[in-house]
Chains A and B, each alone.
Chain A
Amino acid sequence: MSAPAPSSAAPGARGASPSVAALKAAFGPAILRSQVSCGDSIVWVDRGRGHDVLAWLRDTPAQEFNYLTDITAVDYRDPERALEVVYQLRSLARKADLRIKIPLDKSQALEVDSVFDLWKGADWLEREVFDMFGVTFKGHPDLRRILMWDTYAEGFPLRKDFPLRGHFTRAEQTRQALAANPEAHYSIEELSIAEAYDELPEDVRRRLTHGDRGRVQ
């Protein structure tokens, strides 16, 4: 047996996804650039049209990217380089993948439109990106931290300018962690799912409504 030739073994694996050409035809200058990396097609999209492009990819019959695999973000070591929000899309029917990147210039506010209205699964994915990178998703129904606690005050840990041990001293981190009140961190939605909200004492309900979820001074 001879080893298969590296490039011609899987026909089409190295070529760009047909969705890339379709996107360029449909959106023109909003498609900033595209690249094929390890067989995956990557498309950079302008921030202003990001939501339109993703909606088009989901709803156009020939595209049909009905599954949002993941949302994440990349902060590069070069401080001049834009932070990129990455959408990994999958068409379950066509068995096709596509990666969309939306660069966010760091000189402006890190804001992008939420895709929660397109894929409900974007809820926690966008919360995680917000928690770790500080990207604000406009239109997200419940944008708050998901991994770190609500009163976490050190910033956004996966940014490159965030030191590995955090900004505060260990003593201050310990004090703030011990002062956190884990029971108070459930949202109204979570409590109403548990059908417990109506039975809570009045002061707890008032505190939840006002978003006061901790005791850190």
Chain B
Amino acid sequence: MGLTTPKSEREPTEAELAGVSPNFLTTTLSAVSNWGRANSLWPMPFGTACCAIEFMASAAGRFDLARFGMERMSFSPRQADLLICAGRLPFKLAPIIRRIWDQMPQPKWSISMGACASTGGIFDTYTMVQGIDTIIPVDVYVPGCPPRPEGLIYGITMLQKKIKGESLSDPTLRVEHLMDDRGFFLPPEKIDEISEPFGNSVHQTRSA
């Protein structure tokens, strides 16, 4: 943001400028809109498990999300622009979080909080979505089981950085990632690939 003083025929002297406050500034539209968006995120908490407890702690007095402009929790997706999935997501909740994401107006972002929301975590079972990025697009993954409030706040400040780097003229932003005709958000091969078992669980039998 640059600061410009009105031009006159001669440069004003320091004495003349002493009592004058600058009354306009120049900036870019992207910078000012991103500045507003990043500092007034309205989160839609989608808390399903222990991560939601840490999320509540983040919002409460000791850690105080209000410092980042997020004191207004939105319990309606229509008035939210940040979906925080705090906790594991079973397949039974998959259509519900997808519906909530579709209901949120643009611009919108999402944070996948914790190991289970990001990868399925320890729940590599028949009930559990192996990472919510197979259901909705995710901007920031916060690792931890559960992450401490500092971790979530770090993720939120990373998202704010990301928002501040966006450009209004970028055509790839603000695109709705809708389900395709086959009912997939990601290609099925991709879902299978990122849902592959890892760690100890590779020793389990796999019938699929």
The interface of chain A, by Cβ under 8 A from chain B, is 148-149, 154, 157, 162-182
Provide the main secondary structure of the chain B interface: loop
Report 24 cross-chain contacts, Cβ distance below 8 Å, ordered by A residue: A148-B92, A149-B92, A157-B126, A157-B127, A162-B126, A163-B208, A164-B126, A165-B124, A165-B208, A166-B126, A169-B188, A169-B208, A170-B134, A171-B188, A171-B189, A171-B192, A171-B195, A173-B126, A175-B188, A178-B95, A178-B135, A178-B184, A178-B185, A179-B95
Q: Which of B14-55 contact A (CB under 8 A)?
A: none
Q: How far is the CA of A126 from the CA of B189 in the complex (A)?
A: 38
Contact check, A174 vs B191: say whether CB atoms are below 8 A apart.
yes
Residue of A nearest to B205 (CB): A163
Contact check, A164 vs B125: say whether CB atoms are below 8 A apart.
yes
Interface centre among A154, A168, A174, A179 (most CB of B within 10 A): A174
List A contacts of B188 (CB < 8 A). 169, 171-172, 175
Contact check, A178 vs B125: say whether CB atoms are below 8 A apart.
no
Contact check, A170 vs B126: say whether CB atoms are below 8 A apart.
no
List B contacts of A175 (CB < 8 A). 182-184, 188
Contact check, B92 vs A178: say whether CB atoms are below 8 A apart.
no
Contact check, A177 vs B92: say whether CB atoms are below 8 A apart.
yes
Contact among B92, B94, B191 with A171 in the assembled complex (CB-CB below 8 Å)? B191
Give, as a whole number of angstroms, the nearest-CB distance from A76 to chain B.
18
List A contacts of B96 (CB < 8 A). 182
Give, as a whole number of angstroms, the nearest-CB distance from B191 to chain A.
4
Contact check, A163 vs B206: say whether CB atoms are below 8 A apart.
yes
List A contacts of B129 (CB < 8 A). 174, 177
Is B197 among interface residues, defined by CB-CB distance under 8 A?
yes
Known contacts A167-B207, A168-B208: A177-B91 contact under CB 8 Å:
yes
Contact check, B95 vs A177: say whether CB atoms are below 8 A apart.
yes
Q: How far is the CA of A149 from the CA of B205 in the complex (A)?
A: 25
For chain B, give the interface size range: 20 to 34
Contact among A154, A162, A165, A170 with B191 in the assembled complex (CB-CB below 8 Å)? A170
Closest 10 CB pairs of A and B: A166-B126, A171-B188, A170-B195, A177-B91, A171-B191, A177-B94, A169-B208, A163-B207, A175-B183, A171-B192
Is B172 among interface residues, defined by CB-CB distance under 8 A?
no
Is B98 among interface residues, defined by CB-CB distance under 8 A?
yes
Residue of A nearest to B134 (CB): A174
List A contacts of B134 (CB < 8 A). 170, 174
Q: How far is the CA of A157 from the CA of B195 in the complex (A)?
A: 19
Q: How far is the CA of A172 from the CA of B130 in the complex (A)?
A: 13
Given A157-B127, A166-B125, 10 extra CB contacts under 8 A:
A163-B204, A165-B125, A168-B208, A169-B208, A170-B191, A170-B208, A174-B91, A175-B188, A178-B95, A182-B96
Residue of B nearest to A169 (CB): B208
Interface centre among A157, A169, A177, A180 (most CB of B within 10 A): A177
